[in-house]
Amino acid sequence: ARAFRMCLEGAEEMSPHAVFYINAADTTAQEDSIELVRKLRPELLEKAISLEGRQSFISTAKARRFFGWEAQYSWTDLLGQG
């Protein structure tokens, strides 16, 4: 909801057909992203070499650039609760 609101508030500066990815900044895997690529898709290793930690494979950089949105939460925030 926050991303949608922020996008609407910044809509005048954007193309009416702009597309944004809104997702977590990290993966749901416990291993680092680069290790997942190394194990599961080694042919893509060169493209994934800049991934840090459990960084998501899908970038939200465009949403950050256009209207300042960044993920606030991670599934790991919920560990140990319940």
pLDDT tens digits for 18-71? 999 999 999 999 999 999 999 999 999 999 999 999 999 999 999 999 999 999
pLDDT at 82: 45
Q: What are phi and psi of 46, to 5 degrees?
A: -60, -35
Q: How far apart are CA 4 and CA 13, in angstroms?
A: 15
Q: How far apart are CA 38 and CA 54, in angstroms?
A: 13
Q: What are phi and psi of 26, to 5 degrees?
A: -130, 165
